[in-house]
Amino acid sequence: MNEIVSEKQKTKPWQKGLIAIVITSVVGVSAYCFHEAYSVQTAKVERHAVKNNIVKRESDGTWGVLPADACGALQNIGLVGINYAKNDANSNIYSCQSQAIQIPSTKGEKTVQYAASGFPEKATHFNLKLRIDGNPNDAENIAARKSWAVYSAVILNQLFPELNFIMSDVKMEELASLTAGKKVDYYIDSKLRVTADVVVDKKNGIGIYSFNIDGLPNLSVN
Residue 190: pLDDT over 70 = yes
**Strands, E assignment, the chain:** 82-86, 94-97, 101-102, 110-119, 122-133, 183-188, 192-201, 206-215
Mean pLDDT over residues 14-41, rounded? 44
Calculate what percentage of the chain has a pLDDT beyond 90: 53
Cα(130)–Cα(203) distance, integer angstroms: 18
Which tops the pLDDT comparison, 87 or 187? 187
Classify 21 in phi/psi space as left (phi over 0), alpha (psi -120 to 50) or beta: alpha
Taking Cα atoms as reference points, which of 105, 98, 106, 147 lies closest to residue 127? 98
What type of residue sits at position 115?
A: A
Specify the pLDDT at position 48: 41
Share of the chain above pLDDT 70, in %: 71
Q: Name the nearest CA neighbour of 145 among 172, 167, 171.
A: 172
Q: Please report which confidence band the pLDDT of residue 211 belongs to, taking 50, 70 and 90 as the band edges.
A: very high
CA–CA gap between residue 112 and residue 154 (Å, rounded):
14
- Structure confidence at residue 81 as a pLDDT band (50, 70, 90): confident
Q: Could you tell me the residue ranges of all domains in the chain?
A: 9-54, 63-215
Q: Is the pLDDT of residue 158 over 80?
A: yes
- Ranking 5-19, 57-71, 131-145 by mean pLDDT, the lowest is 5-19
Separation between Cα atoms, residue 70 and residue 107, nearest integer Å: 32
Mean pLDDT rounded to a whole number for the chain = 79
Give the 3-state secondary structure of 119-146.
ECCEEEEEEEEEEEECCCCCHHHHHHHH
Amino acid at 158: Q
Average pLDDT (49-76) is 72
Q: Which of 175, 181, 177 is nearest to 195 (CA)?
A: 175
At how many degrees (to 10) do helices 139-159 and 169-176 cross?
130
Least confident of 80-94, 102-116, 143-157, 167-181: 80-94
pLDDT at 92: 83
Q: Is the CB of residue 123 less than 8 Å from the CB of residue 132?
A: no
- What average pLDDT does this structure show over 135-158? 93
What pLDDT is stored for residue 55 in this prediction? Answer: 44
